[in-house]
Amino acid sequence: MITRKQRLDYRNAKVKEYFTALEKKHPQWKLQALLEDTAREFPPLATGTISAIIKGTGKYAQ
């Protein structure tokens, strides 16, 4: 059985993967647009949460 921590780690990895792919696909986009698009792809995450996952800050630090 998969634990909650494993699910969150998997989700965070997918968020980082999606953000990186989006960043490569649209290099002209500003950071806020990338965060908003990523947040739409992973509801109910907010742009602040996405930013913390990408930066590895707060409780998302590893």
Q: CA–CA separation, 14 vs 28, rounded Å?
A: 22
pLDDT at 26: 98
Q: CA–CA separation, 34 vs 47, rounded Å?
A: 9
Cβ neighbours of residue 23 closer than 8 Å, sequence gap 6 or more: 29, 34
Domain ranges of the chain: 4-60
Q: Is 2 left (phi over 0), alpha (psi -120 to 50) or beta?
A: beta
Tell me whether residue 2 is exposed, middle or buried, using C-beta atoms within 10 angstroms of its C-beta: 0 to 12, 13 to 18, 19 or more. Answer: exposed
pLDDT in tens, 2-58: 999 999 999 999 999 999 999 999 999 999 999 999 999 999 999 999 999 999 999
pLDDT at 61: 87
pLDDT at 62: 76
